[in-house]
Structure 1
Amino acid sequence: MTDALSPAGDRWQLRFERRLAHPPEKVWRAITEAQHLNRWYPFTAAAIDLRVGGRILFRDEEGTELHAEITELVPPKAFAFTEHDEETGVHELRLELEPDAEGCRLIFTHTFADDTWAAQTETGWQHCLDALTRAVEQVG
């Protein structure tokens, strides 16, 4: 397990690395299919148009909508999207899967403009990635 915050040009990046005991194809479903994504991601995916340029509509517990655009889609290797938040700006999220002998390695990066809330965000993502590990178990 590797977690790190570092500068990324004029922005900041949180990078997480996890080893998962499942093949990339199974993890891919957990990160791109709404019924599985909703088990670990901090917002509910109300709609996903799974293609580069496609939109993802997320909703939080209060019903506030958050819009994202898919920027990379290389099954079962890479899934990336940008979220547009009125308060905190543009967030770039990328999930990369690399096969290994025991399943795969997940590399998750979150790039954003302001590091003032990075510690809180890091803790939140750690919980989400723990939930992802459990969510993959439920993928058929």
Structure 2
Amino acid sequence: MIEYGTFHKTESRYTLRFDRFLPHQEVENVWRILTDPVHFSKWYPFATGEMELKLGGIIFFDDGEGSTYEGIITEFEPPRVFAFREIDDILHIELQSEDQGCRMIFTHTFDDQSMAVNTAAGWHRCLDAFGMIVDGKPVEWPDNSADLRKAYKDAFDLS
């Protein structure tokens, strides 16, 4: 079953929300993988693997095209909440224990509605990669970007 994200307007901003159930995983294990810099850089776009894991800590990013920037950790409540500001965007990840697994709630709040479809497709792929890491599998990036963009365009109906 494909777990698609949803799109929400919040005041003057927009939020993408993804709920991912990670079966047979404990919150503490998912937290360890989520906040491990080596694993983080395998699924999170532009992450360098350098981060200061504390409230107010810095996460370093490099887009591979000459631009580097920093994110600031805005919430850090092990093993449940990890949130940070990346430029003007807010990324918030919450982990919840659920029957026989862990639920990950990932939200991305941003300003530009025109980014919603492409960003949703990108996060969908990144969260699939995160799930592979949690399951102990090698990360594979299938060629499904166009299909995901179409699915999100149809679902969000932003015309």
| Both structures adopt the same fold (TM-score exceeding 0.5) | yes
Equivalent position of 2:149 in the other structure: none
* Match of residue 103, structure 2, among 91, 102, 105: 105
1:43 aligns with 2:67: no
More off after superposition, 6-15 vs 21-30: 21-30
Equivalent position of 1:6 in the other structure: 8
With structure 2 as the length reference, what TM-score do the two structures score?
Answer: 0.80
More off after superposition, 38-47 vs 115-124: 38-47
Matches within 5 A, 1:1-140: 1-21=3-23, 22-84=25-87, 90-138=88-136
Contact 1:72–1:78 (8 Å) recurs in 2: yes
With structure 1 as the length reference, what TM-score do the two structures score?
Answer: 0.90
1:29 alignment partner AA: R
Deviations 1:101-137 (A, max 9, x none): 2110000000001111110000000000000001113
Equivalenced residues, count: 134
Distance 2:55 2:48 in 1: 17
Unaligned runs of 5+ in 2: 138-159
Contact 1:3–1:15 (8 Å) recurs in 2: yes
Unaligned runs of 5+ in 1: 85-89
- The structure with the largest alpha-carbon Rg is 2
Greater relative CO, 1 or 2 (CA 8 Å, sep 6+): 1
More strand by share: 1
| Identity between Structure 1 and Structure 2 (%) | 41
Distance 2:121 2:4 in 1: 13
More helix by share: 2
RMSD: 1.4
Q: Write out the 4+ residue segments of structure 1 that deviate beyond 4 Å after TM superposition.
A: none
